[in-house]
Amino acid sequence: MVLRNARLSVAHTGDCRAVLGTFADGKLFAEALTVDHSPGEASEMARLEAFGAYVQQGKTQESHGYFEPARLFRRDESRPGGKGTGPGLAMSRSLGDFDGLDAGIIATPTVSHHAIGEDDAFVVLASDGIWEMLTSEFVVSAVGGFLAQGQPATAAARFLIAKAAVEWKMEEGNYRDDITAIVVYLKDLLPIL
């Protein structure tokens, strides 16, 4: 993320996410600054399949609360239907994931821009370990509470990390994904707004 002259630019790869906390009509809302690079997303799926990869569709069993994301595999014509083998990634772009290069994984980021306005309060940048357990709306509401109480951005980030860790423990036991969060209060950086 780069902030220059009230213009916010975000370059991202994979399933980490940047979300803006912004006010409208006196209420705080979450605005996505990035879109996850998922093999199930139409343009990413088309790119991967043109590369020769196999994309397994996501699965949902609402009656059991079960969800499995779309996954990327190397195409293997010797298997029924040309289904693939490895790496089975749930993202289509990644930094340093060399095992998936021959399946179409690229590190090329998507870049988005946002002109910061007076209603924009903060940005949360976090890894998928946060977003798999906490919704963007929850995250923005929680950070908004810290901001309203005059608490520092680091306190809000620590809360998000702790909250996600508890959710992972409750749902997955001792396993959890990477949990990283950065909170940036925009007014601290742009006092003229």
66 plus 119 within the same structural domain = no
69 plus 13 within the same structural domain = no
177 plus 126 within the same structural domain = yes
66 plus 150 within the same structural domain = no
Compute the average pLDDT of residues 78-101: 76
DSSP tag of 106: B
pTM as predicted: 0.84
118 plus 166 within the same structural domain = yes
Which pLDDT does position 83 carry in this prediction?
Answer: 67
**Does residue 103 register a pLDDT over 60?**
yes
25 plus 46 within the same structural domain = no
88 plus 179 within the same structural domain = no
Between these two residues, 89 and 155, which has the higher pLDDT value?
A: 155
Question: In sequence order, which ranges of the chain are alpha helices (DSSP H)?
Answer: 42-51, 128-131, 136-148, 153-172, 186-189
17 plus 57 within the same structural domain = no
Compute the average pLDDT of residues 156-180: 95
Which pLDDT does position 180 carry in this prediction?
Answer: 96
**Does residue 97 register a pLDDT over 90?**
no
pLDDT averaged over every residue in the chain: 88
Percent of the chain with pLDDT over 90: 55
Residue 102 within a domain: no
Structural domain count of the chain:
2
Domain span at 57: 42-92
72 plus 123 within the same structural domain = no
Compute the average pLDDT of residues 44-51: 90
